[in-house]
């Protein structure tokens, strides 16, 4: 039978290192290579950077959500001793063009606004001064006269805005930035045939990553060469020159971005091009190197990394026997005042929108809404954390309406373990999995049956105790088509298809393996992963691997850690490099041993004759000879001095979207699977939720380092607990952001975490990546909100409460309980 997916042919696997047991380093909880210097306080973060002659910037920010600038007077600020310069948007525009936008058509954005502010905290002028204190003094002296415009705060009302409430009136006559509809398969037919159509209106509120380090830049313009040298804590340093070069009016090669250790990202340091452009421009205008580090309030209000803010009207078509047949929804997403990557967060969600279930078709209308809030950016999950929650809410809703057990109904609909690779309606594939095994493992770890009995008994005694289960996907290793595949087909924008990762490696004459990475460390474990994979593949001792980082002029072809891609991608680059180095080591080594290359092998850091114990040359001997004794080898390029290589690894398996968007191609195929089970108690009088027990089982394929993966799962789960229970950006009717601080934006502390968290793993290796590795950096946040929501709903089942919105803070929950008490 013809299918909309027929043209989406799965390419053959390019895997070179098969998953297997008996590996030496891969699978070990090796202590991290990165840690000693960080523990000693010598990590080297952005604010640790000092360059000679450096000045400091402070920003004049908007107190209004939406206002025209009538006038700006910087004279008092300029007159303050210690001030080098004060610059408005018009000043900056002399040296800088608008920010890049992956949206198509783009929504124009300036690093300092020209004539109008569109959210609280947006920059209207910048001060460069001798120190940060004086810069902030001067910023206070800048006088701005405002004409207040109507603020758009509500997601639905924003769509109806007209006149002065339109946020970008020069470019579009409404606040609807994009409105696209998709049908993947016979959605209407499936809904027509359904025995039950489950409907829910679901709201996911805005929050953001809030890494403990904010974003920062130290920029220096050299007027003689016309080039910039920039230190920045971006995840993206070998890619971002191509993104911002145009804005800075230089070629990417004239931008030298020097990476630093980043104090956490979770997405927030990926697209931080705005402060790069602004700070670079300021250094050019002021004629001195400029440091700008966002303070916490600026990071909250102006860092362009707010997370999803969505309203779904979702429908699930269910057959009489409980089979999930089709899913469709209309989603409004409040993107804030700009649209830097279009609806990439929805593109991402298309990777796994139907969850672990055999759902045959899927339809969507996505509407990007502009509002007077800070622009959205990446945040752990990149939109898939929301669709995971939507899918799980719909599964729970179906169970409730059909009178079925929610876990058993999930099991009934799960993709079978022998059905992989499995193509979902959007065209993405799930490379492998065993969802049933993960579920079984979780049931055992949590003792689901016992907890359900206990919860029931406690509820009978008047306590509000409940159990929640979520079975979710954790897609990893993205391809960049997600950024543009949902754009308007006539104007899709920059349709890139490469997001490679690379390393440079060299065996030096002392025998050490020097490796250069082209992506930064942001709290992940790049050096440890590379050390483990190279030690495995080249039989060297981990302590003989020495790791450095390039800058953007010496590096290349790397996109960095996002979308849970880095471990799989860098493992691929390490294998590629190993193959090249092995070939070279064997050629030189074999010559030195007077053997043919095919007669030797790598063994314990040596090139050794196969079958011989003592006929061998250490890598040090080979590298020393090949580096310094050219005349010891024959003529010919292949014996040119030195053992080194460069290796690039492209996405392991991806395809283009269908030109008519019948499907989106394969773009996020390396899938993990997670099952979270949680027991909670709600205090009905206060709405407080206590987590009584928590178990998480994750399948992230072959595990390189169990301890570091455990850290990711734990951290992601903490993040998801915050998302579910306490973290929300709150705006008043005027668009004032009321809680942009750590006192009121309530991220979990050690006190809020579950006391007895149990972590389990299943390993279903990927058939496409080296060693079968999958990503695992987001799973906690991809599962915890769903499991907690289910558990709370279960705990409050006697009140008949339905949870359709996150977070459920104590006041929100108490409000639901109060309403139920009043009506019941």
Partner 1 sequence: MKPAAFDYERPNDLAAALELLSCEEDTRILAGGQSLVPMMNARLARPKRLVDINRLPDLDYIRDEGTHVAIGALARHRDVKSSRLVRDHLPVIPAAYEWVAHAAVRNRGTLCGNLCHADPASEMPALMLLLGAEMVLTQASGTRIVAASDFFLGLYETAAGPGEMLTEVRIPKPARDTGWGFEEVGMRKADFAWATCAATMRLDGGRIAAPAAAVAGVGDRATRLAELEAAIEGQAPSDSLFADVAREVAVSLDPPSSVGVDAQYRRDLVGTLLPRALAAAARRAEEAKQ
Partner 2 sequence: MKKTAINLTVNGRSRDAVVPPRMLLSDLIRHELALPGTHVGCEHGVCGACNVLVDGKAVRSCLMFAVQADGCEITTVEGFSAGGLDLVQTAFWEEHGLQCGFCTPGMLASAHELLAENPDPTDDEIREAIAGNLCRCTGYEYIIAAIRSAARKMRDAETAAKRQPA
Run of H or E including 390? helix 384-402
String marking each residue 268-297 x if it binds partner 1 according to CB under 8 A: ---------------------------xxx
Q: Which residues 6+ apart lie within 8 Å of 79 measured at CB?
A: none
Does position 818 interact with partner 1 (CB under 8 A)? The reply is yes
DSSP 485-540: TTS-TTS---------EEEEEEE-TTS-EEEEESS--SSS-HHHHHHHHHHHHH--
Q: Which of 136, 154, 447, 690 binds partner 1 (CB under 8 A)?
A: 136
Binding mask 414-433 for partner 1 (x = CB under 8 A): --------------------
Q: Of partner 2, partner 1, none, which one does residue 594 interact with (CB within 5 to 8 Å by kind)? A: none
Q: Among residues 324 and 379, whose Cβ is nearest to partner 2?
A: 379
Residue 814 site contact among partner 1, partner 2, none (CB < 5 to 8 Å, cut-off depends on kind): partner 1
199 binds, among partner 2, partner 1, none (CB under 5 to 8 A by kind): none
Pick one of partner 1, partner 2, none as the site partner of residue 746 (Cβ within 5 to 8 A by kind): partner 1
Report, in Å, the least distance between residue 333 CB and partner 1: 21
> Cβ 58 to partner 1, closest distance in Å?
8
Residue 271 per-residue DSSP state? S
- With CB under 5 to 8 Å by kind, the binding choice for 262 among partner 2, partner 1, none is partner 2
Comparison of 144 and 261: residue with beta carbon closer to partner 2: 261
Q: Is residue 613 involved in binding partner 1 (CB under 8 A)?
A: no
Which one among 716, 721, 809, 816 touches partner 1, defined by CB under 8 A?
A: 809
Q: Is residue 79 involved in binding partner 1 (CB under 8 A)?
A: no
User: Which one, of 226, 252, 63, lies nearest residue 143 by Cα?
Assistant: 63
Q: Which stretch binds partner 1 (CB under 8 A): 60-68, 359-367, 680-688, 777-785?
A: 680-688
CB 690, min distance to partner 1, A:
12
At closest approach, how far in Å is the CB of 531 from partner 2?
Answer: 15
Residue 488 C-alpha from the chain's centroid: 24
Least spacing, CB of residue 265 vs partner 2, in Å = 8
739 binds, among partner 2, partner 1, none (CB under 5 to 8 A by kind): partner 1
**DSSP-assigned letters across all residues of 32-61:** PTTHHHHHTT----GGG---TT-EEEEEEE
Q: Report the number of secondary-structure helices (H) and strands (E) in the chain.
A: 20, 29
Q: What is the DSSP letter of 365?
A: E
121 lies in the binding site for partner 1 (CB under 8 A)? no
Question: Which of partner 2, partner 1, none does residue 210 bind (CB under 5 to 8 Å by kind)?
Answer: partner 2
* Closest CB 119 distance from partner 1, rounded Å: 16
Which of partner 1, partner 2, none has residue 536 at its interface (CB below 5 to 8 Å by kind)?
A: none
How, if at all, do strands 196-204 and 255-259 pair? unpaired
Closest contact distance (angstroms) between CB of 759 and partner 2 is 9
Q: Which is nearer to partner 2, 109 or 519 (CB)?
A: 519
* Shortest separation between residue 718's beta carbon and partner 1, angstroms: 13
Work out whether 143 is an interface residue with partner 1 (CB under 8 A). no
Sign of CA pseudo-dihedral 506, 508, 512, 516: negative
User: What is the greatest pairwise CA distance in the chain?
Assistant: 93
Centre a 10 Å sphere on the Cβ of residue 350 and count the other Cβ atoms it contains: 31
Alpha-carbon span 435 to 441, nearest angstrom: 10
φ, ψ dihedrals at 139, nearest 5°: -60, -35
- Should residue 306 be labelled a site residue for partner 1 when binding is judged by CB under 8 A? no
Closer to partner 1 by Cβ: residue 138 or 258: 138
What would the x/- binding string for partner 1 be over residues 733 to 762, using CB under 8 A?
Answer: -----xx---xx-x-xx-xx----------
Strand partners, 363: 183, 328
Tokens 């010919």 belong to residue: 636
Residue 508 in the binding site for partner 1 (CB under 8 A):
no
Q: Is 125 exposed, middle or buried (0-12, 13-18, 19+ CB in 10 A)?
A: buried
- CA geometry: angle 676, 682, 688, nearest 5 deg: 105
Query: Should residue 685 be labelled a site residue for partner 1 when binding is judged by CB under 8 A?
Result: yes
Question: Which stretches of the chain bind partner 2, using CB under 8 A?
Answer: 29, 31-32, 34-36, 38-43, 45, 47-48, 133, 209-214, 261-266, 295-296, 521-525, 707-708, 710-712, 714-719, 741-743, 747, 749-751, 753, 755, 757, 780
Q: Which partner in partner 1, partner 2, none is near 195 (CB below 5 to 8 A by kind)?
A: none
Q: Which among 395, 379, 445, 407 has a CA at the least distance from the CA of 720?
A: 379
Residues 6+ positions from 119 with CB-CB distance below 8 Å: 62, 65, 66, 301, 302, 336, 337, 372, 373, 374, 375, 735
| 71 belongs to the binding site for partner 1 (CB under 8 A) | no
534 vs 550: CA distance, rounded Å: 18
User: CB-based burial of residue 53 (10 Å sphere; 0-12 exposed, 13-18 middle, 19+ buried)?
Assistant: exposed
Contact 218, 289 (CB under 8 A): yes
Angle, helices 435-446/406-413, rounded to nearest 10 degrees:
160
Choose from partner 2, partner 1, none: what does 728 bind? Cβ within 5-8 Å by kind. partner 1
- Which residues, including other chains, have CB under 8 Å from residue 90's CB and lie 6 or more apart? 114
- In angstroms, rounded to a whole number, what is the distance separating the alpha carbons of residues 763 and 772? 9
Q: Which residues in the 523-582 window bind partner 1 by CB under 8 A?
A: none
| Between 130 and 254, CB nearer to partner 2 | 130
Q: Let me know: does 544 contact 581? Beta carbons within 8 Å.
A: no
Give the list of residues 6+ apart from residue 794 with CB closer than 8 angstroms, or none.
Answer: 455, 466, 467, 468
Residue 741: strand pairing partners: none
Q: Which does 617 bind (CB under 5 to 8 A by kind): partner 2, partner 1, none?
A: none
The nearer residue to partner 2, 396 or 474, going by C-beta atoms, is: 474
463 binds partner 1 (CB under 8 A): no
To the nearest whole angstrom, how small is the minimum distance from the Cβ of residue 532 to partner 2?
14
Instruction: Report the partner that residue 738 touches, choosing among partner 1, partner 2, none (CB closer than 5 to 8 A by kind).
Output: partner 1
Report the residue number, 458 or 747, with the smaller CB distance to partner 2: 747
List residues near partner 1 by CB under 8 A. 132-133, 136-137, 140, 295-297, 683, 685-688, 726, 728, 730-732, 738-739, 743-744, 746, 748-749, 751-752, 809-811, 814-815, 818
């Amino acid at each position: 039978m013809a299918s909309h997916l027929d043209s989406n042919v799965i390419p053959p696997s390019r895997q070179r290192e098969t998953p297997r047991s008996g590996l030496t380093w891969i699978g070990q909880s090796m202590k991290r290579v990165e840690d000693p210097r960080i523990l000693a306080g010598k990590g080297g973060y952005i604010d640790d950077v000092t360059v000679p002659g450096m000045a400091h910037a402070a920003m004049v920010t908007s107190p209004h959500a939406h206002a025209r600038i009538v006038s700006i007077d910087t004279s008092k600020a300029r007159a303050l001793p210690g001030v080098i310069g004060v610059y408005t948007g018009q000043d900056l525009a002399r040296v800088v063009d608008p920010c890049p936008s992956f949206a198509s058509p783009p929504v124009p954005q300036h690093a300092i606004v020209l004539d109008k502010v569109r959210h609280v905290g947006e920059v209207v002028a910048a001060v460069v001064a001798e120190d940060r204190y004086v810069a902030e003094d001067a910023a206070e002296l800048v006088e701005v006269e405002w004409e207040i415009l109507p603020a758009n705060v509500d997601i639905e009302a924003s769509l109806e805005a007209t006149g002065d409430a339109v946020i970008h009136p020069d470019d579009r006559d409404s606040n609807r930035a994009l409105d696209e509809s998709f049908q993947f398969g016979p959605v209407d037919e499936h809904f027509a045939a359904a025995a039950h159509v489950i409907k829910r209106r679901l709201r996911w509120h805005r929050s953001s990553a809030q890494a403990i380090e904010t974003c920062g830049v130290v920029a220096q313009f050299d007027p003689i060469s016309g080039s910039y040298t920039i230190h920045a804590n971006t995840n993206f340093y070998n890619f971002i020159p191509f993104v911002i070069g145009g804005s800075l009016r230089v070629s990417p090669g004239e931008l030298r971005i020097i990476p630093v250790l980043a104090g956490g990202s979770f997405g927030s340091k990926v697209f931080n091009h705005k402060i790069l452009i602004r700070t670079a421009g300021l250094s050019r205008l002021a004629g001195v190197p400029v440091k700008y580090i966002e303070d916490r309030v600026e990071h909250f209000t102006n860092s362009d990394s707010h997370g999803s803010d969505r309203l779904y009207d979702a429908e699930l078509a269910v057959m009489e026997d409980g089979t999930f047949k089709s899913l469709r929804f209309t989603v409004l997403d409040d993107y804030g005042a700009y649209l830097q990557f279009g609806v990439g967060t929805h593109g991402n969600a298309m990777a796994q929108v139907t969850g672990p279930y055999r759902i045959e078709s899927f339809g969507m209308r996505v509407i990007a809404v502009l509002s007077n809030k800070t622009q959205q950016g990446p945040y752990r999950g990149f939109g898939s954390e929301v669709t995971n929650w939507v899918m799980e809410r719909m599964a729970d809703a179906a169970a409730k309406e059909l009178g079925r057990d929610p876990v058993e109904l999930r099991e009934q609909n799960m993709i079978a373990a022998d059905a992989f690779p499995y193509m979902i309606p959007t065209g993405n594939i799930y490379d492998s999995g065993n969802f049933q095994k993960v579920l079984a493992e979780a049931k055992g770890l949590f003792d689901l049956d016992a907890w359900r009995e206990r919860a029931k008994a406690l509820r009978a005694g008047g306590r509000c105790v409940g159990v929640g289960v979520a079975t979710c996907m954790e897609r990893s290793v993205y391809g960049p088509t997600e950024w543009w595949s949902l754009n308007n087909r006539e104007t899709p924008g920059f349709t890139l298809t490469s997001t490679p990762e690379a390393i440079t490696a060299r065996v030096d004459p002392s025998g050490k393996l020097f490796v250069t990475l082209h992506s930064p460390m942001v709290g992940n474990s790049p050096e440890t992963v590379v050390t483990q994979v190279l030690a495995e593949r080249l039989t060297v001792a981990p302590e003989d691997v020495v790791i450095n980082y390039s800058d953007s002029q010496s590096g290349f072809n790397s996109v960095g850690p996002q979308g849970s891609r880095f471990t799989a991608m860098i493992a691929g680059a390490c294998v590629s490099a190993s193959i090249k180095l092995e070939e070279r080591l064997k050629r030189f080594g074999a010559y030195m041993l007077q053997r043919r290359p095919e007669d030797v092998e790598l063994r314990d850091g040596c090139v050794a004759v196969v079958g011989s114990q003592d006929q061998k040359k250490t890598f040090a001997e080979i590298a020393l000879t090949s580096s310094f004794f050219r005349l010891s080898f024959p003529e010919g390029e292949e014996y040119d001095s030195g053992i080194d290589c460069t290796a690039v690894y492209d996405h392991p398996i991806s395809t283009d979207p269908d030109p008519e968007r019948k499907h989106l191609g394969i773009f996020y195929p390396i899938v993990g699977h997670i099952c979270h089970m949680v027991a909670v108690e709600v205090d009905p009088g206060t709405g407080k939720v206590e987590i009584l027990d928590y178990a998480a089982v994750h399948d992230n394929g072959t595990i390189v380092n169990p301890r570091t993966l455990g850290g990711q799962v734990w951290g992601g789960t903490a993040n998801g607990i915050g998302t579910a229970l306490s973290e929300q950006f709150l705006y008043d009717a005027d668009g004032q952001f009321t809680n942009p601080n750590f006192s009121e934006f309530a991220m979990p502390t050690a006190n809020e975490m579950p006391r007895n968290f149990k972590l389990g793993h299943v390993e279903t290796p990927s058939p496409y990546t080296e060693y079968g590795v999958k990503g695992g950096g987001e799973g906690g946040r991809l599962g915890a909100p769903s499991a907690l929501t289910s558990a709370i709903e279960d705990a409050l089942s006697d009140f008949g409460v339905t949870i359709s919105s996150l977070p459920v803070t104590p006041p929100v929950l108490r409000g639901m309980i109060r309403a139920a008490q009043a009506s019941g």
